[in-house]
Chains A and B, each alone.
Chain A
């Protein structure tokens, strides 16, 4: 306290005083200088004190040079001239020595005189009135919508607005480009922002016209990229419009020839861009977006293109979003998708094609999830969350660059548009616990089969994660054990891939002894030393076999996903069923129940074994060019990894 108090004042050192005296041609003794320095400090404080009074009466928060000069003048001291500028004066250090000075740039008068961009005079001071609160209730004019008083715009701005909107929504692509470029760099359009936002909110009325939607999205992008614009609460409105393009079954998508997929991809990319650059402007935005995506994903009535949008949206928001929302939903969703994909009737052809799209999108998302998760495990220190990486990968904790700041989930959503799900009541967040990577991988593998594995094997440095979390390690062990099952030796070659290569699945033969990555069997109490050092397959096997009977006895878990493909009577598969069922009953029962019932009446089980299916589909989603291109650019743009 005392220290801070001391430092609160500017101190003028005796050296400074001496220096100044010298420059005035006076030689000062040490004691004189010290006395003077002290007095100067006191006078400075006094002047500051009285200048603050001028600031207060001018109803400002910022003390200006003018205030200080006034105080000096009233105490009969000469004013300090030359620093009356409104902007902050840059105070910079000299490179050599501890010398600081105020930067005083030379101004080239010739340049100034011949400058073409003549600054305009200040706009006229004026008074504008608006009814802020009617009967003390609410804001008549909710933030983010367009003010009704259009006439309050100046002539120039109005003209600009008309030109720009006409150019962007018009036919000429060149003109559009110019307009967008200007929108991206113009520093004087702050007043028009609400109008543009309003125009953009017109997406709902042009959902039949992909071209227009595209243009509007480009407009969003330009606005978002304009460094002079403070979007403020308009972010909400923009996000809402973008979400519309991502999620809605647009009228344009009725015609299969329309490439609305690209639009959705672009919109998702835009969403992530807005979110990463402006997400801090609106509190709770991240969770609202996640909630609405989750809602769409869990709604089986929605068309597949909406689901596709939700998936790419999640993907765009980062792997944490995928892990948090998509991954837990996958088992429930898979059944639905499976049914679509397995229907070979002609009438279903279109839907099935859509289904493949979704499949591809999920695959991409999930693969990135695995990769990033592996990476994050291998670099736990970066997350700053040290210790347990397995538990620290929550969407909120690790990798500061990746996850938004923690926000209260129950954030009240004021003036929220329809496409942002309000947090809280409608769709409660599930108890979310991170799933360890191997378990996740196993589960995903059960869905995608080798199409996933191939991907995974290309992942960088997966095997190098530190063997810290016991449960996760135990799971790793439980993968069919091969010669390379020791993580220490498998540094270069991802361990799981190695395992898979020699696993019986590879040759397509029915698996007799499937990997049992059961969570129930891997209690958190398992000691680290034991699991990491032994690496004996026999232990794993015996454990898995011992756990199996117990799991089988959990009867109801079978009914949960009666139609899911992995409940097929094939040997080995029941393990997965148990796995999921067990989790279901154990930890996330409440949260998941709605989805279970929702999927109950899905088509009958396919007899195709998962791997067989997965083999049939390795190409899907990889050929889907837009997805890939987008995904790649997304990595390069926003991920620090």
Chain B
């Protein structure tokens, strides 16, 4: 096409590439058709047909498709009306029809093309019939439609040749461009393979796969394994990974120079096959400036759908902390302190830097206090806040020279399988979720767990007495352990409310349950996910909570609503872990698509996409000041992110197995990570955050230059006794608690 059309179209296309949203379903499909037609080099005709298409690429093509459908169904009247309204020339449709058949005339492929075209049309017909005039609005990614985009034509024999040609070209370019251009290999490889499979060239597909799989980066190994098991067109129908490849464009960041180089090469060679794939399935995010180095690229790539677009991380994030409510702190300390050890009601709070002094002035990066409505503080909450402040004054300042002590909570005899653990903020309770659907809550202080008395008994007590809160408790029920029954599948996520009155648990049965820790009964079952719910987390201010699961969305709930308030959708695979920002205005989710997203609770939009992990993410932790995020994944690495700039700022290597827990110390100096390799590792977070270079270029382009200083940042490795570490928690005085189940 380039040969025919020359310069001006280039500009259009480039604009197209950059502005086009990640459209899915029919929209992109029709675009595709238009392209396929105009790009077919064999026919001389396309010049005329392609001009209008290039001028208004989206609508025009959609309209053409609709027209074609109408015509096929002999709705000539509608055809005329639509044509008149859209101002299309009479011959455009015929031309397109001729075009596609011309494209299909390459031998025996014609039949396949026709049938796929048919399938596309029939598949989309339901949408069209329901709303024939609003055909452009059909955006459900129907599987057939999605897949039919692969009905590309081309000689299967030539695929390896094309690929090899590109490979040779990229190997021959200057070093500085080679790394960038090499990014193209993986998506190209995947899409070429899928095209072959879709068009039933099974043996060619296999040969192609075997020949070039070795060239792919090792961190795509998991996806390649899935791909390799797929060798039939029928398989593609139900394969989720595959849908991801198709419905989302693979995003590449390439410098303008490199991109021009690539484009010129493809145009010179008339390599339309590859060019088409790049056009249809890839989103190339072009930036001006120096090409990136291999290490820079490797740091950011690895996710299911390439890197994040730069625009995706441009939105402003109010990462600052909310102003603390002003509570006068009683100055009578010492003697009261001793009693409080026992665990008078204390309350969780958003973690603060230094509590008292700083809270007066508003942080410029903080969201407005009322940006999202937060619950009023109750008296007991205020009391707890005071407790928290008192404890905070006795907090140990941690640092490289002053490492925390570690207490390990071992779950013994957990034959049923421990799957999740959580501590209350004041470290008085510990809860475990088990694979046998139970939730167990233990008191780790001498204070036993008691239920509230029954209604009849409650009538008898003196409601005016001072110790009414004590009197309502049933002493007979005091025990160290309470078991909560209710779920019908393994409990995968568990979270205490900050006021310690509630406990959330999410399970394989598709529900999230809210339990009362006063009565030890289930209060609500939140249904909505309908698939296993992998994780849930209470907001640090209570009331809200977030859950994420196998249905690839995260949901925001309020405890008093049985339906979700927000649905955060965008991940391309399961949402594996969820976490609230300390200011409750944002939610971070990690997913098996190997990305982390940050969502705005206010409007449900995705404000950050972090790529760089090479495996499903299983642990997230916000730094106490709200500025940074740490994430741990099955690739046994911890990555650090600057939320404000949307940048990766650190990589901590050292673990040898999946990381399941991450936690910052109360003042954020130390990051603790716990892993399946039975170790807890402590990292110097202060140093990691101070050392980062945030010059303008880095901030503007998002090109991080990470130095490999994991070893300097690693402060200690602590072995457990063959116990995987599945939760970590810093007490208010900075003692590190770790938990896991002993598995001999």
A residues contacting B by CB (< 8 A) are 1-2, 5, 8-9, 38-39, 41-42, 45-46, 49, 53-54, 56-61, 66, 70, 74, 122-137, 190, 230
Residues of B within 8 A of A38 (CB): 231-232
Residues of A within 8 A of B432 (CB): 127
State whether A59 and B406 are in contact (beta carbons under 8 Å apart), knowing that A9-B229, A49-B226, A70-B508 are contacts in the complex: no
Q: CA of A129 to CA of B660 in the docked complex: distance in angstroms? A: 20
A58 near B444: Cβ-Cβ < 8 Å: no
Interface string of B231-271 (1 = CB under 8 A from A): 11011001100000000000000000000000000000000
B676 near A125: Cβ-Cβ < 8 Å: no
User: Distance in Å from the Cβ of A260 to the closest Cβ of chain B?
Assistant: 38
Q: CA of A269 to CA of B405 in the docked complex: distance in angstroms? A: 43
B634 near A56: Cβ-Cβ < 8 Å: yes
Given contacts A39-B234, A126-B442, 13 further A-B contacts (CB under 8 A): A39-B232, A56-B618, A56-B658, A58-B492, A70-B489, A125-B413, A125-B414, A127-B739, A128-B412, A129-B408, A132-B738, A133-B405, A136-B403
Q: Return the contact of B411 from the options A1, A61, A70, A126 (Cβ within 8 A).
A: A126
Q: CA of A190 to CA of B531 in the docked complex: distance in angstroms? A: 41
Residues of B within 8 A of A124 (CB): 413
Q: CA of A8 to CA of B434 in the docked complex: distance in angstroms? A: 31
User: Distance in Å from the Cβ of A191 to the closest Cβ of chain B?
Assistant: 10
Q: Which residue of A lies closest to B576 (CB)?
A: A57
A59 near B660: Cβ-Cβ < 8 Å: yes
A46 near B229: Cβ-Cβ < 8 Å: yes
Which secondary structure dominates where chain B touches chain A? mixed
B214 near A127: Cβ-Cβ < 8 Å: no
A136 near B412: Cβ-Cβ < 8 Å: no
Q: Return the contact of A126 from the options B404, B408, B481, B676 (Cβ within 8 A).
A: B481
Q: Which residue of B lies closest to A66 (CB)?
A: B435
User: Distance in Å from the Cβ of B205 to the closest Cβ of chain A?
Assistant: 13
Q: CA of A555 to CA of B481 in the docked complex: distance in angstroms? A: 83
Q: Which residue of A lies closest to B738 (CB)?
A: A132
B416 near A136: Cβ-Cβ < 8 Å: no
B508 near A54: Cβ-Cβ < 8 Å: yes
B412 near A132: Cβ-Cβ < 8 Å: no
A59 near B682: Cβ-Cβ < 8 Å: no
Interface string of B414-457 (1 = CB under 8 A from A): 11111110000000001010110000101010000000000000
A53 near B574: Cβ-Cβ < 8 Å: yes
State whether A133 and B718 are in contact (beta carbons under 8 Å apart), knowing that A49-B226, A125-B440 are contacts in the complex: yes
Q: CA of A74 to CA of B724 in the docked complex: distance in angstroms? A: 28
| Chain B 323-342 interface residues, beta-carbon cutoff 8 Å to A | none
State whether A59 and B508 are in contact (beta carbons under 8 Å apart), knowing that A124-B413, A134-B405 are contacts in the complex: no
Q: CA of A129 to CA of B446 in the docked complex: distance in angstroms? A: 13
A123 near B413: Cβ-Cβ < 8 Å: yes
Q: Which residue of A lies closest to B202 (CB)?
A: A38
B409 near A136: Cβ-Cβ < 8 Å: no
Residues of A within 8 A of B744 (CB): 190, 230
B508 near A136: Cβ-Cβ < 8 Å: no
A59 near B403: Cβ-Cβ < 8 Å: no
Q: CA of A125 to CA of B214 in the docked complex: distance in angstroms? A: 48
Residues of A within 8 A of B508 (CB): 54, 70
B407 within 8 A of A: yes
User: Distance in Å from the Cβ of B184 to the closest Cβ of chain A?
Assistant: 23
State whether A129 and B407 are in contact (beta carbons under 8 Å apart), knowing that A49-B226, A74-B531 are contacts in the complex: yes
Total contacts A to B, CB within 8 angstroms?
130
User: Distance in Å from the Cβ of B595 to the closest Cβ of chain A?
Assistant: 17
Q: CA of A70 to CA of B490 in the docked complex: distance in angstroms? A: 10
Which 5 pairs show the lowest CB-CB distances between chains A and B? A136-B403, A45-B229, A133-B406, A123-B413, A132-B408
Q: Return the contact of B676 from the options A2, A57, A59, A137 (Cβ within 8 A).
A: A59
State whether A135 and B403 are in contact (beta carbons under 8 Å apart), knowing that A56-B618, A61-B676, A125-B440 are contacts in the complex: yes
State whether A127 and B230 are in contact (beta carbons under 8 Å apart), knowing that A61-B676, A136-B404 are contacts in the complex: no
Q: CA of A132 to CA of B230 in the docked complex: distance in angstroms? A: 48
B724 near A59: Cβ-Cβ < 8 Å: yes
Q: Which residue of A lies closest to B742 (CB)?
A: A128
B residues contacting A by CB (< 8 A) are 210, 213-214, 225-226, 228-232, 234-235, 238-239, 402-420, 430, 432, 434-435, 440, 442, 444, 481, 489-490, 492, 508, 531-532, 534, 550, 574, 576, 592, 616, 618, 634, 658, 660, 676, 682, 715-716, 718, 720, 724, 726, 738-739, 744
Q: CA of A130 to CA of B531 in the docked complex: distance in angstroms? A: 38
A42 near B715: Cβ-Cβ < 8 Å: no
Q: Return the contact of A57 from the options B231, B407, B492 (Cβ within 8 A).
A: B492
Q: CA of A569 to CA of B332 in the docked complex: distance in angstroms? A: 95
Q: Return the contact of B412 from the options A45, A123, A133 (Cβ within 8 A).
A: A123
Q: CA of A559 to CA of B417 in the docked complex: distance in angstroms? A: 72
Q: Which residue of B lies closest to A48 (CB)?
A: B229
Residues of A within 8 A of B430 (CB): 127
Residues of A within 8 A of B481 (CB): 126
Residues of B within 8 A of A41 (CB): 229
State whether A136 and B682 are in contact (beta carbons under 8 Å apart), knowing that A123-B413, A130-B408, A131-B405 are contacts in the complex: yes
Could you write out 20 A-B pairs with CB less than 8 Å apart? A9-B229, A39-B232, A41-B229, A42-B232, A46-B238, A53-B574, A58-B435, A58-B490, A58-B492, A61-B676, A125-B414, A126-B481, A127-B409, A127-B412, A127-B430, A129-B407, A129-B408, A132-B718, A132-B738, A134-B405
Residues of B within 8 A of A123 (CB): 412-413
Q: CA of A127 to CA of B741 in the docked complex: distance in angstroms? A: 9
Residues of B within 8 A of A128 (CB): 409-410, 412
Residues of B within 8 A of A137 (CB): 403
A58 near B419: Cβ-Cβ < 8 Å: yes
Q: Return the contact of A5 from the options B228, B417, B676 (Cβ within 8 A).
A: B228
Q: CA of A190 to CA of B550 in the docked complex: distance in angstroms? A: 41
Residues of B within 8 A of A130 (CB): 407-408, 410
A127 near B676: Cβ-Cβ < 8 Å: no
User: Distance in Å from the Cβ of A67 to the closest Cβ of chain B?
Assistant: 10
Q: CA of A9 to CA of B228 in the docked complex: distance in angstroms? A: 10
B229 near A129: Cβ-Cβ < 8 Å: no
Q: Return the contact of B415 from the options A58, A59, A122, A135 (Cβ within 8 A).
A: A122
State whether A135 and B618 are in contact (beta carbons under 8 Å apart), knowing that A59-B676, A125-B414 are contacts in the complex: no
Q: Return the contact of B407 from the options A60, A126, A132, A136 (Cβ within 8 A).
A: A132
User: Distance in Å from the Cβ of B121 to the closest Cβ of chain A?
Assistant: 28
State whether A74 and B532 are in contact (beta carbons under 8 Å apart), knowing that A127-B409, A136-B682 are contacts in the complex: yes
User: Distance in Å from the Cβ of A195 to the closest Cβ of chain B?
Assistant: 17
Q: CA of A128 to CA of B238 in the docked complex: distance in angstroms? A: 46
Residues of A within 8 A of B225 (CB): 5, 8
A59 near B409: Cβ-Cβ < 8 Å: no
Residues of A within 8 A of B724 (CB): 59
Residues of B within 8 A of A42 (CB): 229-232, 235
B228 near A58: Cβ-Cβ < 8 Å: no
Q: CA of A131 to CA of B404 in the docked complex: distance in angstroms? A: 11
Q: Which residue of B lies closest to A1 (CB)?
A: B214
Q: CA of A10 to CA of B592 in the docked complex: distance in angstroms? A: 24
Q: CA of A192 to CA of B238 in the docked complex: distance in angstroms? A: 54
User: Distance in Å from the Cβ of B507 to the closest Cβ of chain A?
Assistant: 11
Residues of B within 8 A of A136 (CB): 402-406, 682, 715-716, 718
Q: Return the contact of B442 from the options A127, A132, A133 (Cβ within 8 A).
A: A127
Q: Which residue of A lies closest to B490 (CB)?
A: A58
B408 near A59: Cβ-Cβ < 8 Å: no
Q: Which residue of A lies closest to B438 (CB)?
A: A125
Residues of A within 8 A of B490 (CB): 54, 57-58
Q: CA of A546 to CA of B658 in the docked complex: distance in angstroms? A: 71
Residues of A within 8 A of B618 (CB): 56
Residues of A within 8 A of B720 (CB): 132
Residues of B within 8 A of A122 (CB): 413, 415
Q: CA of A552 to CA of B550 in the docked complex: distance in angstroms? A: 88
B658 near A135: Cβ-Cβ < 8 Å: no
Q: CA of A461 to CA of B694 in the docked complex: distance in angstroms? A: 79
User: Distance in Å from the Cβ of A328 to the closest Cβ of chain B?
Assistant: 38
Residues of A within 8 A of B676 (CB): 59, 61
Q: CA of A46 to CA of B440 in the docked complex: distance in angstroms? A: 34
State whether A131 and B407 are in contact (beta carbons under 8 Å apart), knowing that A5-B228, A56-B616, A57-B576 are contacts in the complex: yes
